[in-house]
Amino acid sequence: MPKKDILVLQDLLLSNAQAAAAIRAELEGRGILAVNLMSSPGAGKTSLLERIAERTAGGLKIAVIEGDIETERDAERIRAKGVPAWQITTGGACHLEAKMVGRVLPSVPPETEILFIENVGNLVCPAGYDLGERLRIVLLSAPEGDDKPKKYPQAFATAQTLVLTKADLFPHLPFDPAKAKAEALELNPKLEVFITSAVTGEGLDELVAHLRRKREEILGRA
């Protein structure tokens, strides 16, 4: 990149990092665990959140920020589950930035325990932007193929949790979950990996238990 572009990118990342740090401090004070969900388009982020909403109804208090280029569709799907949701449309930008998230925080109810931030569907750009989260989850859906971690390494290298989705399609695909997992662990040996299906429910109770445990570990609150 030419030097001028590098300087502008550094400015952007610096101002993003400052906004992210402020969000992290605010949410920590409020006892809210922020979770940044990243994946390709159509890997199943919104479906996963719908299933989590069903499993936590009446218990864990969740809220969702939805990031998309265009449309309110995902926030509407989450609200239909009785969960507070706000749609951010980036109008073309390929990832959320911390300041977009910051504008929504005053609306997040005080009783919230986990705030999910569903990023724009993109396995590349979101990985470079801290949104003030304490937990970063990357989804890889079976139809995308088990060769994706090393082709899109940053998302897998910077996440703490990997969720392999659409396990119900395993019988119809050449996807090898053990290969996908092994490749992701080569990039990031500390990744915790879950195999899930939003159709059959496989792995979802384990994932919800993981989220509760992470909140307790990270924020020291049950």
Candidate ranges 36-44, 50-58, 80-88, 209-217; the one touching a copy of itself (CB under 8 A): 36-44
101 contacts: CB under 8 Å, gap ≥ 6 = 19, 23, 34, 65, 88, 117, 131, 132
Provide the β-strand partners of residue 118.
Answer: 37, 66
Binding mask 116-155 for a copy of itself (x = CB under 8 A): ----xxxxxx--x------------x-xxx-xx-xxxxx-
Q: For the CB of residue 167, give the shortest distance to a copy of itself in the complex, in Å.
A: 12
In angstroms, the Cα distances linking 220 to 52, 74, 131, 178, 214 are: 22, 31, 21, 33, 9
| Interface pattern 86-105 for a copy of itself (x via CB under 8 A) | ------x-x-----------
Q: Tell me how far CA of residue 17 lies from CA of 43, 168, 191, in angstroms.
A: 27, 38, 23
CB nearer a copy of itself, residue 113 or residue 144:
144
Half-sphere exposure of 183 (CA within 13 A, CB side): 19
Q: Which stretch binds a copy of itself (CB under 8 A): 25-33, 79-87, 100-108, 169-177?
A: 169-177
The stretch near a copy of itself (CB under 8 A) out of 53-61, 68-76, 111-119, 213-221 is 68-76
Pick the closest to residue 133 from 20, 8, 16 (CA basis): 20
Is there binding between residue 186 and a copy of itself (CB under 8 A)?
no
> Which is closer to a copy of itself, CB of 174 or CB of 220?
174
Q: Which of 17, 22, 60, 69 binds a copy of itself (CB under 8 A)?
A: 69
Structural element, H or E, at residue 120: none
